[in-house]
Amino acid sequence: MRMDIGKELLSVLPADRIRTRYIDRVTFASDAGFYYLLPRAVVHPISEAEIVALFTFSHRHHIPLVFRCGGTSLSGQSVTDGILVDLSRHWSKVEPEAEGREVRVGPGVTGAMVNARLKPFSRKIGPDPSSISATMMGGILSNNSSGMCCGVANNAYHTLKHIRFILPGGEIFDTADAKDHGRFLTECQALSGQLVSLRDEILGNAELREKIRNKYRTKNTVGYSLNAFLDYEHPLDIFAHLLIGAEGTLAFISSASLVTIPQLPCKSTGLLYFPDLHAACAAIPMLIACGAEAVELMDRASLRAVETIAGMPSILKGLPPKAASLLVEFQGEDERQLEERLGQFLAGAPGLSTLHPPEFTRIARRRNCYGRSAKVCSLLSEQFGKAALP
């Protein structure tokens, strides 16, 4: 006879934070992707103690836990037929520190809200995923989010300063606490020992080291962040950075501290049109050399998806079948710096194989329109790309 999971969960959480009605479970059975799994229960913990108790419950009854924040996943990371742990209501801490140069966040606050709190300091978080208005910090960290502007250098992995997490066994560690480095070695000997062993193996294999370095020189969020074994020495620091991009499989992230980056006030955005993808890609090195803050590639299929959006250039509808476009943004600390970067690019633009002369705009309404269109293209690309995976 199957146990009454709602009744059993009362030993962990109060009744008003346990959902077992069919209609509630169906509501949480899917996220932003194609995948559907009906959870046995949905719970809303509010403290680390309750997370530890849920882990204990999971082990005792052999029912998996899956953590969900914003539910914007397109790849099935936040659906389960076990217990779905919703963090979107009670984990919304945002604490700017060091005059905004750092920020400590909980997993249940959106990236956009964090940036809103950092705005008075003219700072922002490095990751800028297309879903930043809806996606929450737990997902941004667990998926090593990057985005159109942050590239590789300012993604979640590289801007992480400290992280606090709970292992499935209930142990809690915080990399901001120097004592926890020693405690990790004594309380998690098997885990820390294995991490050291793996690091020694990687360091002893020159070919493997170079393969890992090459893998993370470009945008890459597939699999665990193996560069942690090269970037860090202490097992706790290695493990902490393996959590970034682990999609919630290694531990529960209860809070994290990120280094922020400047929010440059002056911006100019434009769409560049090319006869094909090869011509578009050939222009990217020059754009980078001129200081372009963002470069987003869109193929003809993507452009068709957004060509009827109000505010998009009429040129889109007349582009040839193999055409491609680059959405480009230049930024500066002031108008002089912006003009310098943009002018440098425009001076060399005649040497590119563009279909039309480059046009840039500083009008916020048009820039936002271009940005929203790029988000649509990005989401469509990720959605259909993930759906094609076995």
Q: What is the pLDDT of residues 61-91, one digit of tens each?
A: 999 999 999 998 888 889 999 999 999 989 9
Spatial contact of 215 and 223, defined as CB atoms under 8 Å apart: no
Residue 141, pLDDT > 80, answer yes
| Residue 245, CB-side half-sphere exposure with 13 Å CA sphere | 24
Instruction: Supply the pLDDT for residue 380.
Output: 57
Single out the residue of 317, 296, 297, 295 nearest to residue 306, CA to CA.
Answer: 317
Alpha carbons 169 and 247: distance in angstroms, whole number: 18
Tens of pLDDT along 291-331? 998 888 889 988 998 888 888 888 999 999 999 999 999 99
Alpha carbons 91 and 47: distance in angstroms, whole number: 8
Single out the residue of 165, 144, 170, 140 nearest to residue 252, CA to CA.
Answer: 165
Instruction: Supply the pLDDT for residue 226.
Output: 95
Residue 382, pLDDT > 70, answer no
Instruction: Supply the pLDDT for residue 115.
Output: 96
SS (H, E, C) the chain: CCCCHHHHHCCCCCHHHEECCHHHHHHCCECCCCCECCCCEEECCCCHHHHHHHHHHHHHHCCCEEEECCCCCCCCCCCCCCEEEECCCCCCCEEEECCCCEEEECCCCEHHHHHHHHHHHCEECCCECCCCCCCEHHHHHHCCCCECCCCCCCCHHHHEEEEEEECCCCCEEECCCHHHHHHHHHHCHHHHHHHHHHHHHHHCCHHHHHHHHHHCCCCCCCCCCCCHHHHCCCHHHHHHHHCCCCCCCCCEEEEEEEECEECCCEEEEEEEEECCHHHHHHCHHHHHHCCCCEEEEEEHHHHHHHCCCCCCCHHHHHCCCCCEEEEEEEEECCHHHHHHHHHHHHHHHHHCCCCCCCEEECCHHHHHHHHHHHHHHHHHHHHHHHHCCC
Band (223; pLDDT cuts 50, 70, 90): confident
Residue 266, pLDDT > 80, answer yes
Residue ranges of domains in the chain, CATH in brackets: 5-86 (3.30.43.10), 94-261 (3.30.465.10), 266-387 (3.30.70.3450)
Band (19; pLDDT cuts 50, 70, 90): very high
Instruction: Supply the pLDDT for residue 338.
Output: 94
Single out the residue of 217, 225, 221, 175 nearest to residue 195, CA to CA.
Answer: 225
Token pair, residue 353, equals 């194989």
Band (381; pLDDT cuts 50, 70, 90): low
Instruction: Supply the pLDDT for residue 388.
Output: 35
Task: Compute the average pLDDT of residues 349-372.
Answer: 88
Instruction: Supply the pLDDT for residue 389.
Output: 32
Spatial contact of 35 and 63, defined as CB atoms under 8 Å apart: no
Give the bridge partners for 360, in sequence order.
270
Instruction: Supply the pLDDT for residue 306.
Output: 87
Tens of pLDDT along 25-36? 999 999 888 899
Single out the residue of 287, 244, 224, 215 nearest to residue 126, CA to CA.
Answer: 244
Residue 385, pLDDT > 50, answer no
Tens of pLDDT along 154-211? 999 999 999 999 999 999 999 999 999 999 999 999 999 999 999 999 999 999 999 9
CA torsion sign for 92, 93, 96, 97 is: negative
Q: What is the mean pLDDT of the chain?
A: 91
Token pair, residue 76, equals 């099935």
Instruction: Supply the pLDDT for residue 73.
Output: 83
Residue 390, pLDDT > 70, answer no
| Residue 54, CB-side half-sphere exposure with 13 Å CA sphere | 29
Residue 387, pLDDT > 60, answer no
Token pair, residue 83, equals 């217990």
- One-letter amino acid for residue 382 of the chain: E
